[in-house]
Structure 1
Amino acid sequence: MRLKSLKLAGFKSFANPTTFTFRHDITAIVGPNGCGKSNVIDAIRWVLGETSAKQLRGGAMSDVIFAGVEGRAAKSLASVELIFEHTQDETHGIRHELNLYQELSLRRQVTKEGKSDYFINGQRVRRRDVVDVFLGTGLGARSYAVIEQGMIGRIVESSPMQLREFIEEGAGVSRYQVRRADTEKKLSETQDNLKRLSDLQGELKKQHKTLIRQAESAKQYQALTDELKVLQKDDLIRRLFEAWRHHEQKKGEQSKSSETLAKLEAEANQVRRELDVLSARVAEAQWLKDEAKDNYHNAQMAEQTAQHNFYTVNSQIAQNDEKIARLNAQHHDALTNIEHAQDELLQINQSLDLILPETETMTHELNNAKQTQSEAQMAWQSRRDELNGLIQEKNNLENLKKLAQSQRQRLEAGLTKWQARYDELVAAKSHFSDTTEAQKQLSADTLKAAALRQKLEHLNDDEALKSVVEELRVAVQTSQAHVQSQEKRHASLMGEYEILHKLTHTKVQSNKITMAPDADALTALNALPSLKESLALTGAGLAHADILDQFLGFWLSARLSDDLPTAFLDHAMDDNDHVILKSGKKSDAGIVSSSIHANEVISQLPTSLQQQLVRFDRLFSAPTLELFGRCYLYVGDEPLTDLQTGALLGVMIVTKAGWLVGSFGMMHLSKLGDTSSQFLSDRKKHLERLEVLEDELNTLEDSLEKDQKQFKQAMTRLQSSKIELEEVIAQKHAATQQLHQLEQSVTTLTAKLDSEKSRRESIDNQLKQLDDENDSIKNELQELKVEIDTCELSLSELEPKFEQANQAMAVQTARIEEAAAKLKAQNDSYQALQIKLGTLTQAKTHAERLLEMAKHSASQTQADIETTKSMQQELSQKLPVLEEAFKAAKAVSHELKLASDEYELAAKAQQIAQSQLQETLTEAHTKFATAQAALAQISADTAVGESRVQDIGGELMRLDESFNLASKLADFRTNSNQNFTDNSARQNQIKIKITELGAVNLAAAAELAELEARVSPMDEQINDITQSMKKLQDAIRAIDEKTKTLFLTALEAVNKELNALFSKVFGGGQASLTLMADDDLPKSDKWRAGLVLMAQPKGKKNSRLAVLSGGEKTLTALSLIFAIFKQHPAPFCVLDEVDAPLDDANVARFTGLIRELADDVQFIFISHNKLAMQIADELKGITMPTAGISSLVTVDLQEAQKYLEIND
């Protein structure tokens, strides 16, 4: 494989599309500094994948685009393309799926926005693909094949790990390092999967222990709630008695408050009527007062206007007097200035009459002096031209002499070089060796290579196995993507399911309220969370969820809102109901007892109405509250306005329209405040969504389990196929490597034999050419000697002419100096006279201007005096009239002020009386409002008490069907001093124990079984992942062993070549690369350490690189680079002015190394050294005809030599 061409367009200084073709083994790029030679190196590194703008001598990647120059616009795109040929070569070709043809095109382009694209054979690829294509070839953005300016010196100063990277690239282990990195990435992902699975397994085991504890807590919870129900039943009668006694007391207070309220209302009405009469009188007095104030205000305005007019005229008269005096003074000054200006103008005119005749005489003398100087100058110029002609002739002769002498020196130096070259060729011809042994070795290696090719033909039949691996890889990726998608879907649904399950099943612990207005309010507040979590509707209840929401929201808030009627307190939650809500247990005892009483009450209603009533225990499936046994839903459409509500003792009816009917009367739920809720409707939606989620999760889990099994099977098949394919590839690689070495040996021997023959013929031809050159040089030297003698004779004849011309020049120079001195004196006198004349002219102009200004000022001031006196006379006539008007307006204003003060005193007296009566009315209203609020509170307490009696009675009827509320109330009226035992202490103890249990999960047993089913298959999954990790680790170890073998083999070979090349260029000495001692690395990894370069030139004891000269460092680095090339030749080598630090002798050694490697490696180098240019087969000249734009000029030296031979 070799580089065929390089194409640049818009890259840095190459604004025009430019193509470099490389047809020869050695190409030199030359040109002056700053013309863009190094941009060629930058282009090669850039297209091979360089990503650092700093490495390309720029600040940003967009800096590689042509930035424009004067007369040439900037480019918006930069493009570089490399074209390689013979890329399918078995030995030095590219083994990659993108290399489909014998030629490979690599192109990279970048836009102003910084977007960079890569193309291989016109197909868009990634940068990673470009790197993969050239892995193992020695080519790359920062490989040893591209050496930029200054880099050759930095190589010997590189860190140990940087030197190691050079050897690794030369050993061809980069492709294995990429495979190892990919395998490590897979291993890391597998470890992450194992960690996630282990974490999930540990979390599930923790949940298993928790569920066992929850099942035990559920048993304790059931026993405590049973005992609590018995105690609550005994406590109901005590609460009923207390509620009845409180209700009777509030009735008496309500009657007394009504009488007090009526009396206070009558008193307030009488005060309001008296206040209305007084308010009308106050309004009339206020109107009179405002009218008087307006009249007084108008009179004041008239008085102020008259006063202002009088004072204004007085002020203007005084100002005019001052102005007349000032104008008189200005008029007198103007007359004085006129007299002064006329005297000054007369004096200036007299001076001008004296100066003008003197000026005319001086002008005539000055013209005569200028004429004399001009004639002397013309004579001097004539002598000067004659002298310059002689000088030019002398310079021409001297230049001809110097040129001839320079040509003679060049020919003498060429003769010396000719002799050195002749001796070198004679010596080289005598050192040719015998080639018999090399020909025998060539035949043997050719036979071995043929046998290895037959073996490789059998191993190359691995396409079927690659196809199987690729199909399995695609199947695994597809299966993995499907499993991941299913897992994400499962996680999403499971999260939604757990949230809804908590909302519909979790038991919320009631808040502890240590201070509350009464026990029923505390019961309602604590029961609300439990009720929301435990309510469940039947099919019939779901159809009426909205109205049931409103009713239950009101019922639970009856004791918490001051806006609700007092009658509803009789329907507060029973303690037994509260325990049922907290425990979650079902109990029908309350329902049965309350429903018996309710049935008795409902049976007294019309039959048509009974048929349209549905009891709440048929609408709710849970919990079984006593409230549900005495509440009914009216499903009819007719209004219940004719119903006798007094008969509904202990029973409530809710209509579909939102009306609530009971013994307390009839009212609409919407008027009871915002106490409704939507938890029944929400719960319905949550339960429906839970059912859908359960079905989807079951289906998804079955599908996911099946997909995971398929994925595991596909992964197992893929791993086994990959191992089999890698074994075949390893065998093929070993055979290919051996064949490569044999072919390299054959190529080397063949090239060596051909080179030996070619060198013999070349030396003979060069010796013949040198003889011809020698004769030509001697003839030219003889001609130059004659030319130098002729120039010296002509120079001696010019000397007398020079002497005569210099003397004539001196005479003319003296005449010019004398005329110039006379002209200067005349000119100084003339300039002084002109200055004096100009000064008098300016003074005359200034005096005339002052005279004109003074006359105008006198005329203007006289006119102003006359105008001001006329105005003064008019103002003096107006002043008496304005004074009389001012006195009259002042008298009217005083009379109106007195009238306004009288009206204001009368209005204030009426307002004081009105304010006193208003305070009396306010006090009456306050008393009435206080009494009204007290009556409303008593009425509310009475209604709440009645409702509470009915609620407690209903709870008793649910607990005991034989209980009769009316009979019990009659018993209370007969014996109002009954005593009851309070068992609340025992109830509180049981409640505390239930609270200590916390939230109880009654479904713990089912959840425990489900959890155990999920945990069991996880051990098998963990075992499968562990096996996969082991296989990946084995693959990494195999790659490490292969890398180690290749690296150590390459290091040994490079060391051998390095020492040989170093001894050759230095005429002795030694150099080597050694592994750096690193105690931190284990013994098995010592080969991974960095490398240290040691160099000891001949005759020097110290081998430290720091003490070497610049040239020695350069030769040492070149020896290392060329040693790597001999071990692993890259397709081409690019060198940028690496010979700059070298002298001529070392340049000769450098060029000798290039010639030696040119048969195996294509060299492209930039140089200013003529000796280095001589070894090139082709010169690429970079010029810059237009500033900032590089152009290419190509010279084929072989073609040029043939042309010269033909012409000779």
Structure 2
Amino acid sequence: MRLSKIKLTGFKSFVDATTLSFPSHRVGIVGPNGCGKSNIIDAVRWVMGESSAKHLRGAAMTDVIFNGSHTRKPVEQAIIELVFAEVNIPQYPPNADIAVKRQLSRDGQSVYFINGVRCRRKDITDLFLGTGLGPRSYAIIEQGMISRLIEAKPEELRILLEEAAGIAKYKERRKETEQRMQHTRDNLARLDEVRNELNKQVDKLKRQAKQAEKYQELKQAERLLKAQLQALRWYALDSSVQEQQDNIDEQAAVLAEKQLALQQFDQTHQRQREAQIMAHHTLTEAQNRYYEVDSEIQRLEQTLQHAQERYEQLQWDLEQLETRREAMQQTLGLDEQQLTQFATEIQAKEIEFAQQQAAEQVAQQAVLEIETQLQAWQSIWDHFNQRAAAPTQQAQVEKTRLHNLELRLEQSRQRLSRLEAEERHLDIDSVEYALSQLEPEITALNTELADAQTTLTTYQQAVQQGRAVVQQLTQRLHEQQAQAHKLNGRLASLEVLQEAALGKNNASLNTWLQTQGLDQVARLASHLQVEAGWEKAVEIVLAKYLQALCVEDLSSISALLDTPPPGALAFFATQPPLESTHSGSAPTLLDKVQAPWALTSLLAGVRIAETLTAAEQLRTQLQAHESVITPQGIWLGSNWVYSQQAINESTGLLAREQEIQQVTSQLNQLNAVVEQLTTELENQRLSLQQQEYHREHAQQQVSDIHQQLAQLQAQQSAKQARLEQLHVQSRRIIAERLELTEQISDDNQDLETTRRALHAALEAMAQLADERDALTQQRELLQTTVIPAKQTWQTVRASWHQLEIKLESLRTDQNRLQQGINRLTQQLEPLAEQQAQLQTQLEQQADPIAAWESELADYQQQRSYAEEALLQAKQTVAHLESAVRDYEGERQRLESACQVLRTALEQARLECQANQVRRQTLEEQLREQQWSPVALVADLPEYADEASWQAQIEAVERKLEQLGAVNLAAMTEFKEQAERKQYLDQQAADLDQALQLLADAIKTIDRETRNRFKQTIDKINHYLQNMFPRLFGGGEAYLQLTDDDILKAGVTVMAQPPGKRNTHIHLLSGGEKTLTAIALVFAIFELNPAPFCMLDEVDAPLDDTNVSRFGTLVKTISERVQFIFISHNKITMEIADQLIGVTMQEAGVSRIVAVDIDMAVNMVKG
């Protein structure tokens, strides 16, 4: 591998795009101090992943971006690209070229690329692992690093040697492995906590599941018994409703008879009601007549009262009018006397006013003569000012214009300077370059986005299909679970009925069996298989023996019977009897029964017949111990017949047992199907989760790409807008510069013209100054004369004005009095007319009062007649109402009797309806539970009643109470948690296995690290023994470990220059330290040559002799390693095949000048 090129753009002082080529193995970089040579070393270190701003000689990472100068603006990003040639790395083709690039923007976003493909920083560091290259490797020796290398702590020096030994990648992998182990241990610890907690839950759920299963069985039996109890109540209510309906019909007939009698009574008394109505009509007319007469009387009384009040009001108004007229006549006399006084005073004031007016005219004439002289002077003065104003105004105008022109010229020059500076700061090239860099990134992201969207679509379709499958499986599983639940309920009901039929509900008997150890012994009925159709016959014949306990030996039972059981109890020996034959050729009931034991002793003598007729025929052939039975349960002996058709608790015991077995078989099959469907559903859900995970990952990838693309497109839009803005600014600046240049030229010409015009105006102003002084003296003389005349005129005018005001005031008062007299005179004239009118109205008001009083007397007489007619009508109505009340009493009695019957009928109907509602409610409740009340009643035995069924329900409820609180979801939860426990146990085992594998991997890494590091120390000591004497001219040096543990031991350098004792390197001089460090670095290169080595003024502390030795050694090693060195020493420069000069002609901006030494020598020789 060889470094062929470095491309810098916007990095520190290299603001312009700069390319440094390294075609040879020895390249020197020269230039004055501060020109930016060391920035090249920083650039290489930065691209290789340096993340510390301190090691790049900055305070923040963005400090590496060019921050502007006096003539240049800051740039937005820094880009460095290293091109390596002849690369031999396993993941790339032999002798390939690799380009590694890093890009940093001011927003802090750092991006890495390998051959134009975006990658991570870790990918860059992994690329150079084991090659000796890296941001802080021994291949890059900057200023002061030699001293830091020698003065480094043993642990720091070890890191350098680990890189040289190529075990840095092993340490990195070991660190990653330890992190994985720690994460695995953490996960295992959390998993153990979850497993421990889960174990407790599983144990608890297991107990709860068993309890829930028992609870469901009892619940199912309880539901059946409660349904049967409701059916019994329904049947009782139905019977009660029928009886109540008959009673209602009888009461309705009686009520109809009573209502008919009431109608006949009403017809009889209809005429009495009509007479009462006529009497009321007469009474109403008498009342109306009385009220009309009374109303007229009230109207006349009110009219008379109003007329009298109006008469009194007119008398009062007439008196008030007379008083007012007398007061107005008195006021009129006083005003006429005052008017005469005002006329005399006004006449005297008018004479005095005429005298003052004449004196004011004389004084005014004197003032007018003096002002005429002043006006003549003013005319002369105005003419002079017109002649003098022209040059003065011209001078002022020219001064203002001159100031404005000078100010505008200065502003134009400043604006021109700003435009030139603004034009220099327009960074169009950098923006165009940034745009060209964004286009390929956007294209690549669009391609990547299309691929990611295609992947996302694929996963979305897979998720939809998976969800459809999960939905189908879930529906099927629910259907099977519902069917299984239904069968479980049926099985629980059958088992409860079977237990009752077998007598297992007898608490005292169960206690006795438990005491004798027989509570778990099977009953005979549970082991019998009966041919279809013959179950009833077998039940009748075996009867109580169906509940017999199956024991191996009856001899052991004899001792138990010493303590007799509390009830009937049968035992059946499971051992075959001594004789198993039966007589007769006819088939017996034994042939219809299959059992694991012989039933000859119970069924051998019982023959069978398909019909009752056939049984009657066989009856004549029966022996004394024989009998015959039909499938319908009719059992005949030689001299007896037995038939049992009633339903009791033991009826159907064998059929129920067979049904229990069938339901159990069906339930087992359904459970197998449910388990299979559950497994398939779980697997499909896991698959769906994986597909959803992939989909979410693809969705996230699409979102990330969208975000990156949006950011790049936003940057592109911003750059394009910025570029367009810069172009517009550039065009505007050019146009404004041309315009300002022309304006400055025009303003300079106008400035010279204005200065000449100002000089001429100032000369004309000087010539008119004497004439102005003469006219000013004449004006002052006239002003001294006019002032006394004006003062005299103003005094006389003021006295005349005061007299005029007084005279005007008297005339105003005179007019006011005259107006008041006229107004009073006008007001007195209508008062006399009003007085006459009031007198006439008063006389007219007295005439109609007498007529109204006479009319009132007539109406009062008519009211007395109306009162007598009204009293007579009231007496007639009272008599009729008394008769009606008697009728109403009789009718009320009949109505009360009807109402009693009606109430009783309504009550009966309500009770019947309530029973119907209760019956309907019970029927609806049963039908909601999928029961038919008719079917339930038909299936109930004849002896069934509410009390016995309630007792059975209470027995089941007590069992439920004994169970206590039950977790009904425990069975499902137990299964789920058990599966989860199994899964977590498998995970824990996998984690343990992974930990063991990781521990083995660490042991392998440690063993490999120990061997390689030991070999490295030995080899470096070997090469150091060769390098050290070549640089010092003798002596020796070696590396020494600080600890016996080679995996943790630090490394120190021991050196013995010629003629000195062996000592630690820290005790050497500065030059000796430098030579020792160089010897160590070159020894490392001999061990594991890095592709190139960069030296930044490492020869600065050396004298010429040591520099020559250094140069000779560099020449020798450069045959295998590429050297790029920065130096100010001429001897070092001589060994370079190519020199690159770095200059800073423009402040703050570095540029390069490359010189090929061999080519230059050939040119000189040529």
TM-score normalised per structure 1:
0.38
